């Protein structure tokens, strides 16, 4: 009833989990109604247990889950509706939106997302690894305050049908190398994705843009080059027309580089990141090293054994050991080796096209 029988007019989007409709609840509140694809083999009881976990998690920078419907194979989630869509469709989306993101608004968004993620990682018990931090999962309310969506959904889907492997194209630029390559999913993988997102927000561009010249295609590579040349300020979004604090903007970009360090242990925790962003904590910028770039592995893969299961020579990489995040990997890791293989094969295919 809320969506007028899932009328196409009310459909507002579609993602890896299913379709999203705008709807009006009986109490007149607007809701975003997500119809999950019928592929979960999870029983009703397990599903409801996970839903309970998600709905107990509440923070001003997290999308609120109002409730759910469960009937035979049907699973529907009902969230509060956010008026200003996602960062993917507005700021990073390539100019189709009329919203102007001032520097102050960007600061508010970066800090808000950092706080929401710090809450998931460090205050919720047991901690929640989001595993799909990206621009389309950052929604904006009427005041352009950010809300992280889709946390806790990973567990609703069987490990061998992971979301990442079904929607590689939009996700790949956010994937920490150790997660993409070895399926090691810890909070540090989220922190990596956050770092990429942070640089996107400051620069107003998507992490990968194949239409740009080679040295500019991948935002992390670009940020590292500019950092080495002490020219980071040139990465800041030109649509701000210079109306920003250059010192703060460069600081944000450097924090983005810190979050994407190759060695997961070198990435700061999200609460530390939030303090760095708000100026409550300093960092030594001389310690920033080259970020972990999945493109390095892509080259390696293409040069060695295309189309076959990628074998990575560990002496040339800098991957963490399993469990390095001190979290019980069994509660967090639904990433598997087969998933990592799939991901890389897809990367190879995309490149060769």
Backbone φ, ψ for residue 21 (5° rounding): -120, 150
**Own/partner pairs, 305-310, CB within 8 angstroms, 24+ separation:** 306/348, 306/352, 307/345, 307/348, 309/341, 309/345, 310/181, 310/341, 310/344, 310/345, 310/348
Q: Is 3 in the site for ligand ATP (CB under 6 A)?
A: no
Active-site choice (4, 56, 132, 284)? 132
- In whole angstroms, give the CA distance from residue 1 to residue 339: 38
Q: Are 33 and 21 in contact (CB under 8 A)?
A: yes
Q: Is residue 266 near ligand ATP by the rule CB under 6 A?
A: no
Query: Is residue 93 a contact residue for ligand ATP (CB under 6 A)?
Result: no
The three-state secondary structure class of 76 is strand
168, 162 contact by CB (below 8 A): no
State the binding partner of 89 from Mg ion, ligand ATP, none, CB within 5 to 8 A by kind: ligand ATP
Q: Is 15 in the site for Mg ion (CB under 5 A)?
A: yes
Apex CA 218: angle with CA 254 and CA 13, to 5°? 100
Helices and strands, counts by H and E, the chain: 12, 7
DSSP-derived letter for residue 144 is -
Tell me: does residue 68 bind ligand ATP (CB under 6 A). no
CB of 12 or CB of 25, closer to ligand ATP: 12
Smallest distance, ligand ATP to C-beta of residue 34, A:
6
Catalytic residue status for 132: yes
Asked if residue 171 binds Mg ion (CB under 5 A), the reply is no
Question: Please, which residues bridge with residue 314 across strands?
Answer: none
Minimum CB–partner distance for residue 203 and ligand ATP (Å): 20
Residue that has been written with the tokens 């109306």 in this structure:
243
The binder of ligand ATP chosen from 24, 108, 167, 275 (CB under 6 A): 167
Is 34 flagged in the annotation as binding?
yes
- When asked if residue 146 is in the footprint of Mg ion (CB under 5 A), the reply is no
Q: Could you tell me the two tokens for 90?
A: 């507005």
Report the site for ligand ATP in 7-46 (rule: CB under 6 A): 12-17, 20, 32, 34
Closest residue to ligand ATP using C-beta atoms: 15
| Residue 126, preceding peptide bond in cis (omega within 30° of 0) | yes
Q: Is 154 in the site for ligand ATP (CB under 6 A)?
A: no
> Which of 137, 260, 339, 343 touches ligand ATP (CB under 6 A)?
137
Q: Which of helix, strand or coil describes residue 65? A: strand
Q: Does 137 bind Mg ion (CB under 5 A)?
A: yes
What distances in angstroms separate CA 50 from CA 44, 47, 53, one per listed residue? 10, 5, 5
157's contact among Mg ion, ligand ATP, none, with CB below 5 to 8 A by partner kind, is none
| Residue 150 near Mg ion by CB under 5 A | yes
Residue 332, CA distances (Å) to 31, 120, 292 in order: 29, 13, 22
Task: Assess 173 for contact with Mg ion (CB under 5 A).
Answer: no
Binding residues: 34
Contact positions vs ligand ATP (CB under 6 A): 12-17, 20, 32, 34, 63, 79, 81-82, 85-86, 89, 132, 136-137, 139, 149-150, 167
Q: List, by residue number, the catalytic residues.
A: 132
Provide the annotated binding site for ATP. Answer: 34
Q: Which residues of this chain interact with Mg ion, rule CB under 5 A? A: 15, 137, 150
């Amino acid at each position: 009833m809320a969506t007028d029988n899932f009328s196409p007019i009310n459909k507002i989007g579609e993602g890896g989990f299913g379709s999203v409709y705008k709807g009006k609840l009986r109490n007149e509140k607007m809701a975003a109604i997500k119809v999950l694809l019928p592929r979960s083999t999870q029983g009703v009881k397990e599903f409801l247990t996970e839903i309970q976990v998600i709905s107990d998690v509440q923070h001003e920078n997290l999308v609120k889950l109002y409730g759910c419907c469960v009937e035979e194979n049907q699973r529907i989630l009902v969230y509060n509706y956010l008026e200003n869509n996602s960062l993917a469709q507005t700021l990073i989306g390539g100019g189709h939106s009329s919203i102007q993101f001032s520097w102050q608004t960007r600061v508010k968004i970066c800090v808000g997302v950092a706080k929401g993620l710090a809450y998931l990682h460090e205050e919720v018990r047991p901690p929640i690894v989001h595993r799909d931090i990206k621009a389309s999962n950052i929604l904006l309310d009427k005041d352009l305050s950010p809300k992280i969506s889709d946390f806790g959904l990973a567990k609703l889907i069987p490990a061998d049908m992971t979301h990442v492997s079904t929607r590689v194209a939009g996700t790949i630029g956010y994937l920490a190398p150790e997660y993409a390559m070895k399926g090691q999913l810890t909070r540090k993988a989220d922190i990596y994705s956050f770092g990429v997102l942070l640089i996107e927000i400051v620069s107003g561009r998507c992490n990968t843009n194949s239409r740009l010249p080679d040295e500019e295609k991948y935002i992390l590579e670009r940020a590292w080059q500019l950092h080495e040349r002490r020219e980071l300020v040139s990465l800041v979004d030109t649509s701000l027309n210079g109306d920003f604090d250059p010192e703060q903007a460069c600081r944000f970009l450097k924090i983005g580089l810190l979050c994407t360090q190759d060695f997961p242990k070198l990435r700061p925790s999200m609460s530390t990141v939030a303090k760095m962003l708000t100026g409550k904590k300093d960092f030594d910028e001389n310690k920033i090293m080259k970020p972990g770039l999945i493109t390095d592995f892509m080259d390696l893969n293409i040069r060695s054994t295309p189309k076959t299961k990628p074998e990575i020579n560990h002496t040339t990489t800098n991957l963490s050991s399993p469990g390095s995040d001190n979290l019980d990997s069994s509660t967090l890791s639904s990433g598997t080796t087969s998933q990592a293989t799939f991901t890389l094969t897809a990367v190879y295919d995309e490149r060769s096209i």
